[in-house]
């Protein structure tokens, strides 16, 4: 494990101008996968100027910058626009949805892959163990169905309140579970005891659970895109901070954990950068322009 140093990532305004004028040749292009919350933006959803400019410069240099986030589509699009990705790809819903970005399309994007699953078995098991938790589900049409008017900025759309039976009958891309009555430790223990099968899941910073289809992660979606883009495996970079980033950091040839990441995320990475509050992502991105 190494820690990124200031000398290895320093950049300046002159270099930024040069990268905008000099494209990167195909043989030297990197595939750069970037988490959003806790990486590009802080926990209030704010992206600093150094992070935004560094991301824009890597995009302008011609590298394949790919947002890879747990956020759903509509919550991801503003980040894509903010860092200036007009053409390329993005991975949303922890690998459940893949977008092709193209400024020539009517909406600026099209969905090229969507992984759905039957949420019923997982929801029934969770409800039995966590009866007071809040549940939300992203369906195959991009709607969010929720109990108790559960809403989160990662949904990107206003959730529709439904009863639990309606959620059981839906086809899901993503399921979210949140418990305000449990500590993160209690929540983690409950999830382990449930023994969820037939799905992929990750536990967040708090008593928060994200569920996707079996075998679907950010890494699985990124590997598919890597093949499509014909990028060699050793030219992949990923930056993230959450447990849902572990597979992605392991997938990348250069996996970088944010400074505030949990121990198990740091253990999966090759390097550790500064925290999101100290513009850690900007330091990594600047190092790609050297």
**What pLDDT shows up at residue 7?**
30
Domain 120-213 has CATH 3.40.190.10: no
For the entire predicted model, the pTM comes to: 0.88
Q: How many Å apart are CA 228 and CA 41, to the nearest integer?
A: 28
Q: What does each C-alpha distance from 1 to 44, 106, 219, 240, 266 come to in angstroms? A: 29, 45, 20, 15, 8
Same fold, 2-115+217-287 and 120-213: no
Name the residue ranges covered by the structural domains of the chain: 2-115+217-287, 120-213
Tell me the per-residue pLDDT of 79-90, one tens digit each, with 9 for 90 and over: 999 999 999 999
**What pLDDT shows up at residue 93?**
96
Domain 2-115+217-287: top CATH class? alpha beta
Q: How many Å apart are CA 92 and CA 257, to the nearest integer?
A: 19
**Among candidate residues 227, 182, 232, the one with its CA nearest the CA of residue 208:** 182
Ranges of residues in the chain with a pLDDT under 70 are 1-24
**Among candidate residues 252, 220, 210, the one with its CA nearest the CA of residue 31:** 252
**Among candidate residues 216, 124, 142, 136, the one with its CA nearest the CA of residue 177:** 136
**What pLDDT shows up at residue 23?**
59
């Amino acid at each position: 494990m190494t820690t990124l140093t200031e000398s290895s990532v320093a950049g300046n305004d002159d270099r930024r101008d040069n990268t905008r004028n000099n494209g990167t040749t195909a043989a030297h292009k990197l595939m750069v996968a970037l988490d959003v919350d806790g990486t590009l933006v802080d926990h209030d959803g704010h992206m600093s100027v150094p992070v935004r400019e560094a991301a824009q410069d890597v995009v302008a240099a011609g590298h394949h910058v790919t947002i890879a986030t747990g956020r759903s589509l509509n919550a991801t699009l503003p980040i894509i626009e903010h860092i200036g990705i007009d053409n390329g790809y993005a991975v949303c819903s922890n690998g459940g949805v893949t977008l092709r970005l193209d400024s020539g399309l009517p909406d600026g994007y099209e969905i090229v892959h969507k992984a759905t699953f039957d949420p019923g078995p997982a929801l029934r098991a969770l409800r039995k163990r966590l009866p007071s938790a809040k549940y939300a589900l992203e369906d195959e049409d991009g709607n969010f169905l929720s109990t108790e008017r559960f809403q989160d900025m990662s949904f990107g759309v206003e959730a529709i309140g439904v009863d639990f039976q309606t959620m059981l009958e839906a086809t899901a891309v993503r399921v979210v579970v949140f418990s305000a009555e449990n500590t993160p430790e209690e929540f983690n223990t409950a999830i382990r005891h449930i023994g969820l099968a037939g799905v992929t899941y990750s536990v967040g910073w708090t008593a928060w659970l994200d569920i996707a289809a079996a075998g679907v992660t950010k890494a699985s979606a990124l590997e598919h895109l890597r093949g499509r883009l014909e990028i060699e495996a050793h030219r992949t970079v990923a930056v993230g901070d959450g447990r849902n980033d572990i597979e992605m950091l392991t997938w990348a040839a250069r996996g970088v954990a944010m400074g505030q990441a949990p121990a198990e995320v740091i253990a999966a990475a090759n390097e550790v950068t500064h925290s999101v509050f100290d513009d850690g992502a900007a330091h990594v991105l600047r190092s790609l322009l050297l």
